[in-house]
Amino acid sequence: MSEAGSCGWQTSLVDVTVVINPAARNGAHTHAAVRAADRLRALGHTATLVSGGSAAESSELIRAAVGHADAVAVAGGDGIVNLALQELAGTGVPLGIIPAGTGNDLAAGLGIPTLEPEVAADVIAAGHASVLDLARLTRADGSTQLYATVLASGFDSYVNDRANRMRWPRGHQRYNIAILIEFLFLKGTPYTIEVDGQRVGGPFVMVSVGNGRTYGGGIPICPAADLRDGMLDVTVVRPSGRLRLLRLLPTLYRGTHVAYPEVETFRGRTVRLEATGLTAYADGDPIATLPVTVEAVPGAISVFAPVP
């Protein structure tokens, strides 16, 4: 593999380990993984399906695959992708994504279509691996975790909490409904934020730290974020009248919210968030209780993507 911004297979036949999301071993993720594996085999590659009974077992399977597979693919949403990031970052083993989850923001950001496993397999088989940045979060106890898309806190956290408790509907509509419900309880939260040492005081309604542009199934909360620029994008929303913020909500889906005076954006390589009683989410799952520090990790992982 080359050391440039993208790389490809050195041989025409490759060995791919396909890991199924343990949260739905008999559901859509399994069917997507089987279809993708069948497609890879039809194209002349070796594809081995594995599934752990838990997130920890899946992480072990991914770690084991690093020693013998040419690539690791995961079937599911951003949650299973996040498991793979922890094991593959820095190894040189490329990641393939077979998007079949509720949120598929990293796949969408790379142009990999959702619920089309054969197309995802074609992307892997084509062998164009793009080198992407990740974000490294450090908790108060010193433990760390990588993420690929967006860290959400404040109103975002409450929306994620509610969306994760909901069983219907699936996909981005679940987030839309959660947003509307949580809006009824909207309030500002005292924060202290530092972006490359620049201090920004609260209160804020929400604070998001993006390595990627979108979260929640395609909401471009950090519309200028770039997965390859070595920077983090921070979007903050200050309290305002409820009617004013209600008018702001639809603009979130277009990425035009950044034009409103209540919204501020910052860019930097290191971001520190401090607040009391808030859970931060990243790649769609709870990741830490604030305070946290987030750092950009340039060129951390290779991920198969369609050729630009």
Catalytic residue numbers, as ranges = 285
Nearest 5°: CA angle at 69, between 93 and 44? 110
Beta strand pairing call for 71-76 and 15-20: parallel
Helix, strand or coil, per DSSP, at residue 117: helix
Closest by alpha carbon to 303, among 106, 63, 38?
A: 106
Q: CA 201, CA 187: separation in Å to the nearest integer?
A: 16
Query: CA–CA distance from 104 to each of 74, 118, 187, 215, 284 (Å)?
Result: 12, 16, 29, 8, 9
Q: What is the DSSP letter of 48?
A: E
Length reported for the chain: 308
Helix, strand or coil, per DSSP, at residue 172: helix
> Could you give the count of Cα atoms lying within 13 Å of 39 in the half-sphere of its Cβ?
19
Backbone angles phi, psi at 77, to 5 degrees: -105, -160
Q: How far apart are the first and last CA of the chain?
A: 18
Beta strand pairing call for 232-237 and 95-99: unpaired
Q: CA 107, CA 84: separation in Å to the nearest integer?
A: 13
| CB-based burial label for 256 (10 Å; 0-12, 13-18, 19+) | middle
Q: Per the structure block, which two tokens stand in for 253?
A: 């889906």
Which residue carries 């929640």 as its tokens? Answer: 216
